[in-house]
Chains A and B, each alone.
Chain A
Amino acid sequence: MPTIARVEREPIPPGTLDMLILKTLAAAAEQHGFEIADAIQRRSRDVLRVEEGSLYPALQRMVVKGWIVGEWRHTPENRRARYYHATAAGKRQLEREIASYQRAAHAIALILQPV
């Protein structure tokens, strides 16, 4: 039986999924759900594993918040898919989340550095 390559994978740190989605969307005009999941995995060099299903409640939540907008289009393979792009509010939200994440990461790094 063929095996798929296994790397040490980490679940996405709690509370950062929105940020990762927004960042992915900010980088690439518009993407559908599968592309977003794939992009996060790829860009983290396969370390971050999105529990794929959990992506969709997050997308739904962000649509409700008005951070992203979804539109139905056809993929190059001519399949119907919902493409998401970040709104201006979404981009502002991304900046806020990155800033707060970096503050937290910096603080954690300070704690972890050798004394």
Chain B
Amino acid sequence: MTLRELWFRLTYPTRKGRIERELREEMELHLALRTEQLEKAGLSHRHAAAVARRQFGNRSRIASASRDAWGWHWLEGLAQDTQYVSRQLCRAPVFSLIVCATIALGIAVNTTAFSFYDAIAFKQLPVADAGRVIRVVQGRSVFGSEVVPFSAYDVIHSRARTLSAVVALTAPQALSAVLPGYASNDSRVVNTRFTTPDFAQMLGVRASIGRWFDSTDDHAVVVDHGFWMRRLGGDTSVVGQRLRLGDAEVTIIGVAAPDFAGTGLPAAAPDLWMPMSLLPTVMRDADWRNDGRAHWQLIGRLASGATAARVTAELAMLSRSIPDSVGKPVPLLAKRATFFQTDAGGEFEVFQQMSAAFMIALTLILGIAAVNLVNLFAARNAARERELSVRLALGASRARVARQLVTESVLLALVGGAIGIVASRGLATWLRDWIVATLASVSGGIIGVTLDVGLDWRVAAYAALLSIVIGLAVGLWPALSASRKDAGAVLRQGSTSTGGAGVWNKRNVLLSAQIASSLILLTVAGMLLSGMRLSRNIDPRFDAGHMLVVDVQDDAPMLERAARRSEIIRRISTLPGVRAVAWTQRVPFGGTHLRSVATSGGPLTISVDQVAETYFDAMGLPVTHGRAFTRQEVETNAPVMVVSASMARLRWPYGDAIGKSVPPTDPLVGPDTTKSYTVIGIVGEVRSQFLSRLNGPSVYYPYAVDRGYGGFIVRTRGEPASAIDAVRTAVTTVSSSLASRTHVLTMEGGPMALQRLMAEAPAATSLALAAAGLVLAAVGVYGVISQIVTARTREIGVRIAMGATPLHIIRLVAVRTLRPVAWGAAVGAFGAVSLSLFVRSLVATPDVPDLTFGAGAFSPMVFLGVAGVLALVVTVACYVPTRRAMRMDPTAALRAE
């Protein structure tokens, strides 16, 4: 394109009027000259003028083709179409409203789902220049590889050249704190992260009120902005006030900036930020700086020109001087810092699996909605057949007519999309708040998550793109088929046709697809709902209704810790409301301890627990044969075991299991793999790994208080919640240093609620989705039958006039529709069964919870119920338009045309 041409094209709008006038004049002249020429050849003036016009062709089409030469036509056409279409749509408010609302709903739900995905998948650390921030982690795949010993910080801080800054911080520590303005016995769980003193300065983090601590500060804390708003009432005067952690007092010197959500892993801002110098004061006995153990997350900033790979290379050399607690060098590597843990097994992987299932359901719903919209647009175009034909006859090109019809659907989709985005903001925030609140309540304030579901360009682009795609998808096919009509035929015929068989066949396929999709959604929802119902009344087979779970974090040396644990047990057991207290490696539902063993019958997953002698008593789990452990057996970690009845039956099907031994090579051997273990007792089956299923074959080994980690369970005589304070006090009287790190929850309100939530959340979500799908499918059925009735008004009138009975009319109108419905149901049933089989394979795995709570994968009752609901809805959707057809007044129907 030459410059001159570009100039010509760009200035076209300023000269448009003249160009059009001149073109008209040119064409007039042409016609006049041709007419004269034909007249000279002997034609009459009228005949000559007609022939000239015919030879010339359609003038408005030629004028528009001339305009096209300037390259502005698409924009002009678009503006024209938009204007025209807006007027048309304003004249059909009900139609526009239904389409907008449907699309808005679809976009709102999808965009909300995407907001969450966006918030998790793409979230960087909320620090300055986040793209240049890396994490230093252990270069070996061990549990907790994201933390390293403090010596790594020392070495990197003083010697690394590829990093311009490095900070270290601990994972959040749950502490009990008395906040300013609260009574001195009203302690709350606060999550605290300890950092190197230059943390804020290095990462470019600021305080919104007061200031962040630096290396000169002692006993100074910064509170999280959200925590400050939630717990401290957003009161600016708290800066300078003190808060108590156990028997230590610290001063609040600042409130973090509102957008600082912490550094991730876990993805939540802690409530408090503290300099690491406070660590030994607040968590007595925790010498995390010097104990050589991996407690610290390291975050570094790349020096200019450095990359993560070069940091890793430098770390490989430095790691020789970084020993772990047993003196071995710790291999280190650098990787891109993300807010959520994106490695395998991290939060992100679980989230991805969940969101995949969720997105499938959402896509089905969007598909059902889209089919309705296709039908709506097709019906609207059919009703406007005449208008379109006239436009075609007057010289509008087919492409132009089709484009205009598509403009209509895209315009509505964009309006609907805009409403959808606005709605999704509210929906996403509400859902986020619900998730955060629920997690906090079932974990006693220990689990938190920060999800920034704000509108960023990715979310906006997603919603806009989705709107346009929907607009095109639902408008294109009806528009193409409408513009392909033979204009002459329609005009001559002068009436709306009954619609070709082809059109109906396509619509039948769409209708079938709708029915199939909603049947699948309903079946899944039905399965999960029956699971939820079962979870409400499920009996865990132990005395969960009278149970407290006590978590005590203690960093004292092992001997002292063991002494404290014994003392805690002694003090709690003497409390008046307490029936029994027990020490155990794993409290019920506190994680899973499963062992996969090879048996002659294939691999078998067994449940493994290590418990103290009072455990069975505290669980309310009677020992049916033999006896429980003795105190002495537990204290000496004796090679004895208690097995569940199913384990006994499985392993020793003939004769008594009591007294039988397993050799050290046996898969059932206990923690000391040099000894033979002997069965001393048999207990019943419980649900303590997952509430949704029995533990299955189980073994229990003795577990002394001087072993690594564990928790206490307390069985109360009365309402367990009323014993919480007494139990807390009993622990803190053992050592006041434990006060800040002791958490007591009821079994029902804590771990079991979380277990139920695993069934409730998906059930509620899928029910909502299935209901939306069902309503949309019903609208689809209704719409199709209505169209049949409208299109065949005359035919029905004739039939009634000829004496057709209501039954004939029903057969004529409804039965035709029920055939695709039946097809859809068949396909949907097949899909539902396949899905159920897939779910069955999932729930058959013992190391995941069974979301159907034993209702099974494919339950005929659920399926029949679902089919019944669907049949009812379809019948109602059929009834209304069919009744209209039956009650039709034949004379009115015939006159209407």
Task: Tell me, yes or no, whether A53 is within 8 Å of chain B by CB.
Answer: yes
Complex: A53 Cα to B34 Cα, angstroms: 12
Say yes or no: A4 contacts B38, CB within 8 Å: yes
Q: How far is the CB of A32 from chain B (nearest CB, A)?
A: 7
Say yes or no: B69 contacts A60, CB within 8 Å: yes
Residues of A close to B58: CB separation below 8 A: 53
For the complex, would chain B's binding face be called helix, strand, loop or mixed by DSSP majority? Answer: helix
Which single residue of chain B is at the shortest CB-CB distance from A37?
A: B30
Residues of B close to A51: CB separation below 8 A: 55, 57
Residues 1-54 of B at the A interface (beta carbon under 8 Å): 2, 4-5, 8-9, 22-23, 25-27, 29-30, 32-34, 38, 41-43, 47, 51
For the complex, would chain A's binding face be called helix, strand, loop or mixed by DSSP majority? Answer: helix
Say yes or no: B69 contacts A61, CB within 8 Å: yes
Q: How far is the CB of B264 from chain A (nearest CB, A)?
A: 58
Complex: A53 Cα to B59 Cα, angstroms: 7
Q: How far is the CB of A49 from chain B (nearest CB, A)?
A: 8
Say yes or no: B57 contacts A54, CB within 8 Å: yes
Q: How far is the CB of A101 from chain B (nearest CB, A)?
A: 22
Task: Tell me, yes or no, whether A91 is within 8 Å of chain B by CB.
Answer: no
Which single residue of chain A is at the shortest CB-CB distance from B9?
A: A64
Residues of B close to A65: CB separation below 8 A: 5
Say yes or no: B26 contacts A81, CB within 8 Å: yes
Say yes or no: B34 contacts A34, CB within 8 Å: yes
Say yes or no: B57 contacts A52, CB within 8 Å: yes
Say yes or no: A2 contacts B26, CB within 8 Å: no
Q: How far is the CB of B693 from chain A (nearest CB, A)?
A: 73
A56 with B62, Cβ < 8 A, contacts A64-B69, A82-B22 known: yes
Complex: A63 Cα to B26 Cα, angstroms: 14
Complex: A95 Cα to B535 Cα, angstroms: 85
Task: Tell me, yes or no, whether B66 is within 8 Å of chain A by CB.
Answer: yes
Residues of A close to B71: CB separation below 8 A: 64
Size band of the B side of the interface?
20 to 34
Complex: A91 Cα to B51 Cα, angstroms: 34
Which single residue of chain B is at the shortest CB-CB distance from A35?
A: B33
Residue-wise interface mask of A (22-38) relative to B, using a CB-CB cutoff of 8 A (1 in contact, 0 not): 00000000001110010
Say yes or no: B27 contacts A56, CB within 8 Å: yes
Task: Tell me, yes or no, whether B469 is within 8 Å of chain A by CB.
Answer: no
Say yes or no: A53 contacts B56, CB within 8 Å: yes
Residues of A close to B59: CB separation below 8 A: 53
Residues of A close to B117: CB separation below 8 A: none
Complex: A52 Cα to B62 Cα, angstroms: 10
Residues of B close to A32: CB separation below 8 A: 26, 29
Complex: A52 Cα to B54 Cα, angstroms: 10
Task: Tell me, yes or no, whether B68 is within 8 Å of chain A by CB.
Answer: yes
Say yes or no: A82 contacts B26, CB within 8 Å: yes
Interface positions of B (Cβ within 8 A of A): 2, 4-5, 8-9, 22-23, 25-27, 29-30, 32-34, 38, 41-43, 47, 51, 55-59, 61-62, 65-66, 68-71
Nearest first, the 9 closest Cβ-Cβ pairs linking A and B are A53-B57, A57-B65, A2-B42, A61-B69, A53-B62, A60-B69, A60-B66, A57-B66, A34-B33
Other A-B contacts than A52-B55, A64-B71, A66-B4, 18 sampled, CB-CB below 8 A, are A2-B41, A2-B42, A2-B43, A4-B43, A33-B29, A33-B30, A51-B57, A54-B57, A54-B62, A56-B30, A56-B62, A57-B65, A57-B66, A63-B69, A66-B5, A80-B29, A82-B22, A82-B26
